[in-house]
Amino acid sequence: MKQEEYTERAVLAGVEVMGDGKEGDLDRSMEELGNLAKACFIEPVAVVTQRMESVHKGLYMGKGKVQELKDVAERLDADLILFDNSLTPSQLRNLQEELGKPVMDRTTLILDIFDSRARTREAKLQVETARLQYLLPRLVGMHEALTRQGGTSGSMSSRGAGEKKLELDRRKIEHRLTELKKELEQVAGERRVQRKRRQESGIPMVALVGYTNAGKSTIMNRMVEAYVKDEEKKVLEKDMLFATLDTSVRRINTGNNRDFLLSDTVGFIHKLPHDLVKAFRSTLEEACRADLLLQVVDCSDPFYQEQMKTTAQTLTELGAGDIPMLTVYNKADLGGDIPDYPKRIGDRLYICAKQEASLLMLTEAVLEKVYSDFEMCRFLIPYDKGNIVSYLRENTQLLSQDYREEGTELVVKCHRADKNKFSEYVYGKRAVK
């Protein structure tokens, strides 16, 4: 990102709690916070960290470290302070008083990024829901300049202007959340109908999952270029965290009735806000309903193993932890301890998504997995059952066709369900070996 694109300057602040089993995690987390800031057009100008036994209940960091943070921010003329964790309402209020500058935590930053990236109605509703759920418990202290108590009687007349404003804001948010819940239920219903139609089609579902900016959209677009050949079917592809939020589903036609549906889901990230996971659950269900997951990993990232743990944890939370998976180590061309590519070792693939040979290897691996329960069968269909011949031509992999005196002989690779459906026409009453 060019420097002139930045709109604000920020000092990054973080705390590592000693003895919590996550020592060494702070540096990676702060680097990621810097990338999140850039994705929100904020320029990181300094990093201030502290390792302590436990976070300060009132200020998150120690008082001396807060003063150091204030001095650094003033010296570098920073516009705001970004903290690498969710702050409590009291911590947020106290830090802003001590620092004299706007304070934003990691969750608010991610919510801002999601808000700016949302394009579809569903994504916008999901982001607004997560934002309001996060804001609701943080209303306290937002109206400190107003009085808290009054002297008259009555249910609300005895409250000061600040207390009245707080109650009104809370009611507005709760009312809006109720409206959003209804709208999201309607959208989720529409998505369930679409998903049911896709499942009824019998076409295997494959979902791209993984850490944000690992290359999922790149793989989707290369598949579209190779097998769909429709530029309008491409998704946004950009070297930026959370470049795309909306789940896109494309039918990949590899020929000979070996199609599969490929979905590109929202990326995961370390410390992904729980409210966002809940809000995007209906979207992420595309992964839960898939026949195969492609976990895309940026193997050039020095922290890719930790990113894989985050992905595994998120998939488990979604109930998708037991779905068959291929692990796709992408960006092998950018270095790292990766063997020559493209290469496949079991269910691990080492590729460069922009390379044709890598794409072909990935496609074959996907087809091998999603069509593993297909059997080679020989059918002998009477000539008066032309509708069955048409069905098999359209829904199976046709290997050969011959015309005999008794009817049309078809040798196909078909799903077990189709074999059972037309079992009376299986030639010799057994599948071809």
pLDDT band at 158 (very low <50, low <70, confident <90, very high): very low
| Res. 154: pLDDT tops 50 | no
Distances (CA, A) of 254 to 221, 261, 369: 15, 11, 14
The average pLDDT across 120-129 equals 84
| Res. 150: pLDDT tops 50 | no
Most confident among 111-115, 202-206, 341-345 (mean pLDDT): 341-345
pLDDT band at 237 (very low <50, low <70, confident <90, very high): confident
Q: Are the beta carbons of 228 and 253 closer than 8 angstroms?
A: yes
Question: 311-314 long-range contacts, Cβ below 8 Å, gap at least 24?
Answer: 311/209, 311/210, 311/211, 311/268, 314/268, 314/272, 314/277
Distance CA 281, CA 287 (A): 10
Tell me the pLDDT of the chain averaged across its residues.
83
Distance CA 256, CA 409 (A): 17
Name the least confident of 71-75, 392-396, 427-431: 427-431
Q: Are the beta carbons of 135 and 172 closer than 8 angstroms?
A: no
- Tens of pLDDT, residue by residue over 321-369, are 888 999 999 999 886 666 688 999 999 999 999 999 999 999 999 999 9
pLDDT band at 50 (very low <50, low <70, confident <90, very high): very high
- Tens of pLDDT, residue by residue over 271-280, are 777 777 766 6
What does the CA dihedral 106, 110, 111, 116 come to, rounded to 10 degrees? 140
- Tens of pLDDT, residue by residue over 399-424, are 889 999 889 999 988 877 788 889 89
- Antiparallel, parallel or unpaired: β 408-415 and 374-381: antiparallel
Side by side, which strands form the sheet with 374-381? 374-381, 408-415, 397-403
- What pLDDT does residue 176 have? 92
Which among 202, 208, 198 is positioned nearest to 366, based on CA atoms? 208
What's the per-residue H, E or C state across 100-115? CCCEEEHHHHHHHHHH
Which among 40, 188, 30 is positioned nearest to 115, based on CA atoms? 40
Mention every residue, 6+ apart, whose C-beta is less than 8 A from residue 298.
211, 213, 214, 215, 304, 307, 330, 331
DSSP 215-258: SHHHHHHHHIIIII--GGG-----SSTT---S-EEEEE--STT-
Neighbour-count burial for 409-430, b at 16+ CB within 10 Å, e otherwise: ebbbbbbeebbeebeebbbeee
Phi then psi dihedrals of residue 256, to 5 deg: 55, 40
- What pLDDT does residue 378 have? 92
- What pLDDT does residue 198 have? 65
- For residues 114 and 84, the model is more confident at 84
| Res. 1: pLDDT tops 90 | no
- According to DSSP, residue 429 is labeled G
- What pLDDT does residue 206 have? 93
- For residues 212 and 80, the model is more confident at 80
Mention every residue, 6+ apart, whose C-beta is less than 8 A from residue 137.
89
- For residues 284 and 106, the model is more confident at 106
Distance CA 225, CA 28 (A): 35
Q: Are the beta carbons of 219 and 305 closer than 8 angstroms?
A: no
Supply 392's token pair: 């098999």
The average pLDDT across 86-93 equals 88
Distance CA 271, CA 344 (A): 31
The average pLDDT across 302-323 equals 86
- For residues 159 and 81, the model is more confident at 81
- Tens of pLDDT, residue by residue over 288-303, are 888 899 999 999 888 8
Query: What share of the chain has pLDDT > 90, as a percent?
Result: 35
Distance CA 191, CA 307 (A): 29
pLDDT band at 283 (very low <50, low <70, confident <90, very high): low
| Res. 48: pLDDT tops 90 | yes
Mention every residue, 6+ apart, whose C-beta is less than 8 A from residue 202.
395, 415, 417
- What pLDDT does residue 115 have? 83
| Res. 28: pLDDT tops 90 | no
Q: Are the beta carbons of 248 and 234 closer than 8 angstroms?
A: no
- Tens of pLDDT, residue by residue over 369-395, are 988 877 888 999 999 999 999 988 887
- According to DSSP, residue 403 is labeled E
- What pLDDT does residue 24 have? 63
Side by side, which strands form the sheet with 42-52? 42-52, 8-17, 80-83, 103-105
Distance CA 353, CA 329 (A): 9
The average pLDDT across 9-17 equals 93
Which among 222, 304, 315, 300 is positioned nearest to 268, based on CA atoms? 315
| Res. 156: pLDDT tops 50 | no
